[in-house]
Amino acid sequence: MTPLSPAMRRFAAVGLLLLVVLASVLYGIMPVWSYYSGKVVEVGLQSHQIHRYEYLLANEKSIDGALEQIELENVGGDLFLAGNKPAIASANMREFVTEAVQQSGGQLISSQDYKPKSIPETTAVGLQLHVSGEVKQLVELVHALETTRPVIFIDEITIHSSSSRVRSARSRRSKKPPPEKNSLDITLNIVGYLAGSSAEDPMGDSENGS
């Protein structure tokens, strides 16, 4: 076997060093960065929700007084979900959410009914969404949900970094870098309201996924 020249040995050493640095970035730094980016977004959204709740609590009396002046039959088209039954309202809300996720550029993995708390003289209709996407897409989706009419509220939101889990699992099985995936795995519980209370359980005794 012919020994390598000093120049070739230096070239091989530099190449090996570059491979080590690249592997460290792909499987070490990037997953950690994705994880902390997801946490920063989650803290920001939760802080936004806390400010909204603080505003509602501080203005509870004035809000209650205003609500007492509203005739539910006349304003249902603006504040309340369309449909005269919870099942119909849930289907309408599911259709809107599917379109909103598509327009944001995210991916709706699944949606299922869940039972939120109602408020007096209303019937609550809830959906639990499982969505994947990037930070920009999540912001656009949240904005669409909070500004739509009829009104839809976000009860709870949970965010995980999906890219770090995918990369760490696949890196143990393959030396090739895994394909890019959406970096955020998001679960949202949303709720809208029908005008008037209903004896019908909007979610039934079991949950139906879609």
pLDDT in tens, 106-128: 999 999 998 888 788 888 999 99
Tell me the torsion sign for CA atoms 55, 196, 82, 118: positive
> What is the domain partition of the chain in residue ranges?
6-195
| Domain at 6-195, CATH homologous superfamily | Ribosomal protein S6/Translation elongation factor EF1B (3.30.70.60)
pLDDT at 189 over 90: yes
pLDDT given for residue 169 in this prediction: 47
Report d(CA 1, CA 142) in Å as an integer.
Answer: 64
Q: What's the DSSP call for residue 181?
A: -
* pLDDT category of residue 41 using cuts at 50, 70 and 90: confident
Against a cut of 0.75, is the pTM above it? no
Report d(CA 160, CA 147) in Å as an integer.
Answer: 25
CA-to-CA separations, 174 to 121, 165, 169, in angstroms, rounded: 58, 14, 9
Plot region of 135 (φ>0 → left; ψ -120 to 50 → alpha; else → beta): alpha
pLDDT given for residue 204 in this prediction: 40
